[in-house]
């Protein structure tokens, strides 16, 4: 598996993987109609029009094709906005590898901490973040695509803990 920075030419494939992952992981949260009819337009527009700043970090994992991506907005504190792995490739360490690459790059840029929000019902992701040293914090309803979704904030007070967990 190769991990590299995403380029503008990767954004269409990232959008497609994002849609596929959301449809699979969040079928119990969003309506089938929303996932099939509205989500593709929302995410394709998002990735087509996103302004990637120099301080942001979008990495992709690929083998023969794209298998996962992570997007971190450093505005100013690193916020891990998305970590998605192709459903057929989950539990094959792509998410772990992407998070380790993020930690290494953020540390190299002088960051010490990061955080994310995860749906409370996404037990698989929460277990991954726990294994990587994330600390579960507040839980609250957050508006996501017009739906109120119970979400959990996970923080890394020291990004080196991610690297320590994957050694």
- CATH code for the domain in which residue 109 is found: 3.40.630.30
Residue 16's pLDDT is what?
97
pTM for the model? 0.94
Range of the domain at 64: 2-166
| Distance (Å, whole) CA 51 – CA 54 | 10
- Give me the pLDDT at residue 166, please: 86
Query: Is pLDDT of 91 > 80?
Result: no
Residue 121 to residue 28: CA distance in whole angstroms: 9
- Provide the terminal-to-terminal Cα distance of the chain, rounded to the nearest Å: 17
**Tokens representing 75?**
């505005």
pLDDT score, position 89:
78
The pLDDT value given to residue 167: 79
Question: What mean pLDDT do residues 124-132 have?
Answer: 95
pLDDT in tens, 59-78: 999 998 999 999 999 989 99
| Domain tally, the chain | 1
User: What are the start-end ranges of the E strands in the chain?
Assistant: 2-5, 57-62, 66-74, 78-85, 114-119, 135-144, 147-156
Statement: residue 126 has pLDDT above 80: yes
Say what the pLDDT of residue 133 is: 97
pLDDT for residue 113 is more than 80: yes
Query: pLDDT tens-digit profile of 19-60?
Result: 999 999 999 999 999 999 999 999 999 999 999 999 999 999
User: Based on the number of CB atoms within 10 Å of its own CB, is 89 exposed (0-12), middle (13-18) or buried (19 or more)?
Assistant: middle
- What is the DSSP secondary structure assignment for residue 31, as one 8-state letter? -
Q: What confidence category does residue 92 fall into, taking pLDDT thresholds of 50, 70 and 90?
A: confident
- For the segment 85-107, the average pLDDT, to the nearest whole number, is 92
Q: How far is residue 83 from each of residues 37, 126, 129, measured CA to CA in Å?
A: 22, 12, 11
């Amino acid at each position: 598996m190769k991990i590299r920075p995403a380029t503008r030419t990767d954004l269409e494939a990232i959008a497609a993987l994002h849609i596929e992952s959301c449809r699979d992981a969040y079928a119990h949260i969003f309506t089938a109609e929303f996932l099939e009819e509205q989500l593709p337009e929302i995410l394709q527009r998002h990735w087509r029009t996103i302004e990637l700043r120099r301080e942001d970090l979008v990495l992709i994992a690929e083998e023969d094709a794209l298998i996962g991506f992570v997007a971190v907005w450093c505005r100013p504190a690193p916020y891990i906005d998305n970590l998605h792995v192709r459903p057929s490739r989950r539990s094959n360490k792509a998410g772990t590898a992407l998070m380790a690459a993020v930690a290494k790059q953020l540390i190299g840029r002088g960051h010490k901490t990061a955080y994310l929000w995860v749906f409370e019902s996404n037990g698989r992701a929460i277990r991954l973040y726990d294994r990587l040293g994330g600390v579960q914090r507040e839980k609250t309803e957050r508006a996501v695509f017009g739906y109120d979704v119970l979400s959990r904030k996970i923080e890394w007070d020291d990004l080196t803990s991610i690297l320590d967990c994957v050694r």
